[in-house]
């Protein structure tokens, strides 16, 4: 089978497309998926650079896939021929014609959703859903500030927060403001403006109820000042912890674990018309290194996907 693989963890330049033996037959609780599309994200870039302990070589990037079930092991709760989406985090393997996945992390794709869109939902929307719903405990009528709002996770977070009934404020570069308003953001602020946090304060004098941070660094630090007393902050930037928070604000930094229940919740949102997958570009497998390089460069709008089946 064709596969994009790195024989050493020295960065994106180590990835080549070559032939490899297919995976073994699925064991108990496993699903063999013929991959149609795989999402790529910053986690793949980090793994290729050796930033995730436990990553071994040869390493095939791709932690989120969509495709058709080829075969199942005993106890798997999907059927051959079924259109599914799944995560293989942290072992990867998605940038290949076939991949084995744990059946507990595989779910039926949303109806009327194409393979690229489904693959782009898995980790991005799964992370946004866990951060906002489970960890952030966002409720209707609350105000949430979302940094890095135009990226893969942020684009999903804006839509999920709107679906909850929250007032959504986004932080992104000026060129993405119209895009975020089209997703339902009530207001958007440019992090290049030195007074953007002050603008948030003036828009929400009492402070926001929840910060969902996908930026880290100075943007995150400025965003923390906009939270009301006893508010909440949730961040996905594990390598840049928030530290001790003041004014009774609670903080949580996490890496999402997507399972079938999470995917089913995303499917419900998609099929209700409340979550629309946003895929900026789709690359053929032979251009997987270019897709990864584009992720590494940042500033993508929504997700990038790699198409395995032409």
Question: In this predicted model, what pLDDT tens digit does every residue of 150-165 receive, in sequence order?
Answer: 999 999 999 999 999 9
Peptide bond into 58 cis (omega under 30): yes
Alpha-helical segments (H) within the chain: 42-48, 115-129, 152-164, 177-183, 196-203, 217-224, 260-271, 288-296
Instruction: Look up residue 72 and give its two tokens.
Output: 């199942």
Torsion angle in degrees (nearest 10) through CA of 125, 130, 132, 138: 130
The structure's pTM equals 0.95
* pLDDT tens per residue across span 26-56: 999 999 999 999 999 999 999 999 888 889 9
Of 104, 111, 122, the C-alpha closest to 35 is 122
- What is the pLDDT at residue 299? 80
Which segments in the chain show pLDDT lower than 70?
none
User: What DSSP state is assigned to residue 235?
Assistant: E
Over the range 163-198, which residues count as b (16 or more CB within 10 Å of their CB) and which as e? bbebbbbbbbeeebbebbeebbbebbbebeeeebbe
């Amino acid at each position: 089978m064709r596969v994009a693989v790195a024989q050493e963890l020295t960065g994106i330049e180590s990835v080549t497309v070559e032939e490899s033996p297919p995976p073994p037959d699925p064991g108990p609780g496993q699903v063999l998926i013929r991959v149609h599309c795989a999402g790529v994200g910053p986690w793949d870039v980090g793994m290729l650079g050796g930033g995730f302990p436990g990553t071994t070589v040869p390493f095939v990037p791709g932690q989120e896939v969509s495709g058709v079930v080829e075969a199942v092991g005993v106890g798997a709760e999907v059927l051959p021929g079924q259109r599914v989406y799944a995560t293989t985090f942290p072992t990867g393997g998605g940038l290949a014609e076939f991949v084995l996945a744990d059946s507990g992390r595989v779910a039926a794709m949303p109806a009327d959703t194409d393979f690229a869109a489904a693959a782009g939902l898995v980790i991005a929307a799964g992370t946004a859903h866990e951060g906002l719903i489970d960890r952030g405990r966002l409720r209707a009528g609350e105000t949430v500030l979302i940094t890095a709002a135009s990226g893969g996770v942020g684009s999903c977070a804006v839509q999920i927060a709107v679906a909850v009934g929250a007032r959504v404020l986004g932080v992104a570069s000026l060129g993405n403001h119209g895009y975020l308003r089209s997703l339902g953001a009530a207001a958007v602020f440019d992090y290049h403006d030195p007074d953007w946090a002050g603008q948030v304060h003036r828009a929400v004098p009492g402070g926001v109820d929840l910060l969902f941070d996908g930026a880290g660094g100075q943007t995150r630090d400025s965003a923390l000042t906009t939270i009301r007393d006893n508010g909440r902050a949730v961040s996905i930037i594990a390598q840049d912890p928030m530290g001790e928070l003041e004014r009774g604000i609670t903080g949580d930094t996490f890496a999402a674990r997507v399972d079938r229940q999470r995917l089913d919740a995303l499917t419900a949102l998609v099929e209700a018309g409340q979550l629309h997958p946003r895929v900026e570009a789709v690359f053929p497998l032979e251009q997987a290194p270019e897709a990864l390089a584009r992720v590494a460069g940042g500033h993508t709008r929504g997700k990038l996907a790699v198409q395995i089946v032409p």
